[in-house]
Amino acid sequence: MQALHWDGHELRFDPAYRMPKPRIVDGESKIVGATGGRPSGEAQSIALVKVQLAGVCSTDLQILKGYMAFTGVPGHELVGSVIEGPREWLGKRVVGEINFGCGSCDNCRRDLSRHCPNRTVMGIVNADGAFAEYVAVPVANLHAVPDTISDEEAVFTEPLAAACEILTQVQIDHGFDVLVLGDGKLGNLCAQVVNLTGARVTALGKHADKLALLKKTGVRTVQLNDWQPRLFDIVVEATGSASGLELALSAVRPRGTLILKSTIAGNHDVSLATIVINEINVLGSRCGPFADALDALAAKRVAVTPLIEAIYPLKDGIAAVAAAAGAGAKKILLRP
């Protein structure tokens, strides 16, 4: 199959990359031996998904800078259809949660496979990802996509779920003053999701065109040049760069909450004294609930397609990734 492959040094288009191996437990097409201690059936079954669209995310660009020391096929944002798997999933249009838990540890048993210490992560940790014609996804990670959601919308499920995670972590009441730092893809989605709560959401960013997209969704916007420092109940740091943290920290009111969404390969150089002095709650926030994201897409409560910059064929994936890394680029999609 065709795939983009990262060997730790170079990203290459491979026209004959090895096919992923599906594994159907308690299913019809293939039975494999028991794998001690794990629940049988869905948790162990791995479906083969034909990728229809995959999204290039800043995490992918971080990976190409050495993040997680990953090698293999990158890509963790996708929509596709199941071509091998349990009968009830065959032919279904799906998105897939990206953390593949072991199914047997304490975290997995508590439904926290996103934090399984033995997990692999699609296109990020020891599992080939979606910049390919096919990707293997545990059946337990699949979510069917309602017909009312287009492929171009569904491919945003994973990043939108990450934005929805904020609402599972912190109570945001009507009238709360919330600052979202960063007008990139993640910042945009976070601002839209938080805006659904009735909070007063302000997005602070560098790019007039990206802020204009957010303004259309009812979010207040401020360009960095025009920033007048003031304090917010909640600040969401979604700049994707190490430099955002200091400004974010300075904008949280005493006893307020700072939510960190950026995952970056570098280190932060910032004093933590402000956190102590102002008694700031700091929350790390990563992957989130796919069901909530699909609900929001189905109800057209968030606008994601305006974030699409371009769709490239997979064979032009190198150019696509370069375009995604370009200054001010919006979402680049790959179509195998």
Contact positions vs Zn ion (CB under 5 A): 57, 59, 101-102, 105, 108, 116
Smallest separation (angstroms) from Zn ion to the CB of 159: 5
Smallest separation (angstroms) from Zn ion to the CB of 331: 10
- Which two tokens mark 142? 């699949």
102 vs 319, beta carbon nearer Zn ion: 102
Strand, coil or helix: 205: strand
Long-range interactions of 104-110: CB distance < 8 A, separation 24+? 104/37, 104/38, 104/39
Buried-state track 94-115, b at ≥16 Cβ within 10 A, e below 16: bbbbbbbbbbbbebbeeeebbe
Burial (CB < 10 A; 0-12, 13-18, 19+), residue 226, is exposed
161 vs 280, beta carbon nearer Zn ion: 161
142 vs 324, beta carbon nearer Zn ion: 324
Contacts of 14 (CB under 8 A, 6+ apart): 2, 3, 4, 5
Q: Which helix (H) or strand (E) holds 336?
A: none
- Which two tokens mark 78? 């996708």
Smallest separation (angstroms) from Zn ion to the CB of 100: 9
116 vs 178, beta carbon nearer Zn ion: 116
As a whole number of angstroms, the distance between CA 135 and CA 132 comes to: 7
251 vs 307, beta carbon nearer Zn ion: 307
Smallest separation (angstroms) from Zn ion to the CB of 207: 19
39 vs 198, beta carbon nearer Zn ion: 39
